[in-house]
Copies of this chain bind each other. A is one copy, B any other.
Amino acid sequence: MNSKVGQSIFIVSFGRGEDCQVTIDKAQKEQHPLYMQIADGVVRLIRDGQLPDGARLPTVRELSQGFAVTRVTVQNAYNELKTNGWADATIGRGTFVTFAQPVHSETIEIAVNKMTPDRVMADLSVIKEKEDIISLAMGEPDRALLPAKAFMKTLRQLEADANVLFSYGPYQGDPQLRQMLASLLRERGVRASAEEFIITTGVTQGLSLSVSALCDVGDRVLVEQPTYLGFLNLLKTYQLQPLGVPMLEDGPCVETIERFMREERPRAYYTVPQFHNPTGSCMSLEKRKKILALAKQYDVTIIEDDVYGQLHYGEGVIQPMKALDTDDIVVYLGSFSKMLFPGVRVGFMIPPTSFKERLMSFVRARELCGSPFVQRGLAEFMRSGALHKHLSHILPIYKERCDAMLAALGESMPKEVAWTRPEGGYCCWVTLPEEIEFGELYRETLRKGVAFTPGVVFFQETSSTRHLRLCFCTQTPQSIHKAIRILGDVVRRLLRRPSKQSLHMELQQPVV
């Protein structure tokens, strides 16, 4: 360890060569405390690759001598490094560089009274990283099946245009991608041209823009009950009022929709007609037509979330409501997140013609534009046929998992338990015969290595604890069987004894 002493400059070597030194300037200590100067110097060495992951840092004694500072100063510097995840100390062994360790060790806080949609969303993203848990909680594609390498190959082919594609892109999104999407949606009966599409960073952002451009604070919005928890969350941030429409087996209760439209003057109706989240059900063609007619009659915009639209495990083509929309009142939203992968963060929408300019203003003001590079990559990926090839590959696999889930439920659940039989999408909705102590169900199942989404978060106001959402797409049939056996055991045990917790509210309508 060398140290040079100048007027106020001290230099200490942390390794070989001049690149691996830290300099402090005591004349600067007012503006930049010495311990920070030391910590910042070390960070710079780590960042520049001079101190690799696992490298041992000098002892406190060595540094305090080298810099001619107190041990407390060095200790403070090391604490700073530890706090920020750059270093870690092992008693008796020393302090080591730990670049790229998780910055913050998040814990799963599970409690029934914290089961807000927002909290559950935050928890689930932590749970899914735990390798010893079979998670049936997250509605996302199986990582093992993602065609990431194929997509990266496509991206490499864009190199010739890279400088243009890394600049700002068109607000509306890449024209070639819009063209490919127009063609994809045509296969399902939606006859929109590329000009009518707006590219978003996902369905969530599309919903956010739509809701915000359509509604004013306090406006009412019809939602299915249960519905996608993210949408309930979204309404909350915009101070909009959800009106819950109960779900029946073939879609929402049309009578309730009509009553609400007539009496409550909602601004919009949010629906997931295809492979509904969380129930997995499909809205019947008849209901789609009835609801379109009602929306026209009462001037309500339909927000159609078709994020699972391409994930149909049965035969034939199911047309989105947009395909039936002769009055131009449907905002259609889709995404690559479920049919390809979420990590590209690209979705799309087709708004009613009269609404498009207002939406574009919102896009320009709030988002500017998406990534032209990623969007062009997706266009090329689709053009090469790779998206269709991917869908042909995954649909039979997901169908098998869906079947496994239904079989496992049949085998492991007590006979009073009911569930939906999805023909597409990611999830299945389980209804218990009575309210149970849900916190215990959730914690106990998790302790035994299985996670699911508590149904309560898909409701806007009920405190019903009779429902579970189970996602089958990220697990193999074997894991699904194992998980459902565990879940079934816990459910049986809890159903066998009377619930300790009384109910605040009963559901007024049957829920699938």
Q: Which residues of A contact B (CB under 8 A)?
A: 31-32, 36, 40, 43-44, 47-49, 83-86, 99-100, 102-104, 118, 121-122, 125, 138, 140-141, 143-144, 146, 148-149, 151-152, 155-156, 159, 162-171, 175-176, 178-180, 182-183, 186-187, 189, 191, 193-195, 201-202, 204-205, 208, 212-213, 216-217, 230, 233-234, 236-237, 337, 341-345, 360-362, 364-374, 382-385
Contacts and interface: CB of A to CB of B under 8 A. Distances in A.
Given A100-B179, A204-B368, 14 more contacts: A31-B189, A40-B186, A47-B180, A47-B382, A85-B175, A166-B344, A201-B367, A201-B370, A230-B365, A233-B364, A237-B366, A342-B369, A345-B370, A371-B371
Nearest to A208: B366
A367 B212 CA distance: 13
B204 A171 contact: no
28 contacts: A43-B183, A47-B183, A49-B383, A84-B193, A102-B175, A103-B179, A104-B175, A121-B364, A122-B171, A122-B360, A122-B364, A140-B168, A143-B164, A146-B167, A148-B165, A148-B166, A156-B156, A165-B343, A166-B343, A201-B201, A204-B365, A205-B366, A213-B237, A217-B217, A236-B365, A237-B362, A345-B369, A374-B374
User: DSSP class of A's interface residues: helix, strand, loop or mixed?
Assistant: helix
A387 to B, nearest CB: 10
Contact of A371 (B31, B143, B343): B343
A194 B149 CA distance: 30
Contacts of A103: 175, 178-179, 193-195
B366 A345 contact: no
B148 A233 contact: no
Q: Count the copies.
A: 2
A118 B364 contact: yes
A236 B364 CA distance: 12
A344 B371 contact: yes
Given A152-B159, A385-B47, A212 B183 contact: no
Given A146-B163, A208-B366, A125 B171 contact: yes
B166 A361 contact: no
A460 B368 CA distance: 19
Nearest to A101: B175
Contact of A361 (B44, B118, B201): B118
A237 B382 CA distance: 34
A388 to B, nearest CB: 8
Contact of A237 (B191, B361, B369): B361
Contacts of A140: 167-168
A84 B181 CA distance: 12
Nearest to A236: B365
Contact of A163 (B143, B208, B234): B143
Given A155-B152, A195-B103, A44 B364 contact: no
A84 B368 contact: no
Contacts of A168: 125, 138, 140, 337, 342-343
Nearest to A362: B237
A159 B194 CA distance: 32
A40 B31 CA distance: 68
A259 B170 CA distance: 41
A318 to B, nearest CB: 13
A234 B168 CA distance: 18
Contacts of A170: 125
Contacts of A182: 84
A101 to B, nearest CB: 9
A156 B167 contact: no
A378 to B, nearest CB: 12
Given A169-B343, A230-B368, A368-B204, A162 B148 contact: yes
